[in-house]
Amino acid sequence: MRLFRHLPVFGRPAFRAPLAPEIPFAVIGDIHGCDRLLSELISRLERLELPPQHVVCVGDYIDRGDESAAVLRRLHRLTHEAGVTCLLGNHEDMLIDFLDRPERAGPRWLRYGGLQTLASFGLGPIAETAPEEAWRAHRNALRLAMGEDLEAWLRRLPLFWRSGNIAVVHAGADPAVRLSDQSRRSLLWGHPEFSRTARQDGLWVIHGHTVVERIAHRDGRIGIDTGAYATGRLSAALVSTWDVEVIST
């Protein structure tokens, strides 16, 4: 993706809100193995008359859809260029956990769609009840198929990104806690108070993880996961001062 150097104002806003980013940016929602949708959305962002200066992906690149390996490789490539940040999602966290302790983390990962990710890297299925050696063999095969660079990149993904009065996180945040003090669990899996209580510090939170029918704002929260895997609709929120515009596949 080329480096964007344009002024803000993308087009007609989906809604207006007192957002004050340092630069205009785009946030891409949960991809879940839908590489063709990701490719289409990125092309559309690049073709905008005034493209965003930065692109943030909220995590959950893998599982459920069939093209997880292709999504990871595309995002890995993109982050070598300026202006793209990929956050860690709970699904990537489960993959890393699987690499670290396959017999413990593997069965749970399968229940979250891990088989599709294994298949996308050319690995056959494995049963939740498989013996420890089988889990370790599968881990070794996945590690080989991924390659060192991709694994190292995954392990370095940040938990949040911030610009001005806006934070981008995967799932949510504890409204009573500063962004820099959030627990890993709140950011990756959400917090029970997140959807119930407005923050008092003026920080806006853009997030994925929970599927929404329409991208809107409520009490300082903007959810952008439009359920690409099930709906075919992958969305980007284009954020500039006071404006959010939405582009969906």
Point out which residues bind Mn ion (CB under 5 A). 60, 89-90, 209
CB 229 within 8 A of CB 65: yes
Phi and psi angles of residue 234, each rounded to the nearest 5 degrees, phi first? -105, 130
Q: What letter represents residue 61's amino acid?
A: Y
* Pick 58 or 69: Cβ nearer Mn ion: 58
> What is the nearest approach in angstroms of Mn ion to the Cβ of residue 228?
12
Q: Please state the closest distance from residue 16 (CB atom) to Mn ion, in A.
A: 28
- Is there a contact between 244 and 25 (Cβ–Cβ < 8 Å)? no
Residue nearest to Mn ion (CB): 209
Please, what is the minimum distance in Å from the beta carbon of residue 32 to Mn ion?
9
Question: Rounded CA gap, 117 and 96, in Å?
Answer: 12
Can you tell me the distance from the alpha carbon of 64 to that of 85, in angstroms, rounded to the nearest whole number? 23
With respect to Mn ion, which residue has the nearer C-beta, 19 or 168?
168
Question: In the complex, what is the shortest distance from the CB of residue 188 to Mn ion, in angstroms, rounded to a whole number?
Answer: 7
- Give me the least distance between CB of 86 and Mn ion, in Å please: 14
Nearest to Mn ion of 54, 91 (CB atom): 91
Closer to Mn ion at the Cβ: 30 or 67?
A: 30
The separation between the first and the last C-alpha atoms of the chain, rounded to the nearest angstrom, is: 18
Q: Using CA atoms, how far apart are residues 37 and 42, in angstroms rounded to an integer?
A: 9
Please identify, using beta-carbon distances, which residue of 10 and 229 lies nearer to Mn ion: 229
Q: In what order do the strands lie in the sheet with 217-218?
A: 160-163, 166-169, 204-211, 221-225, 217-218
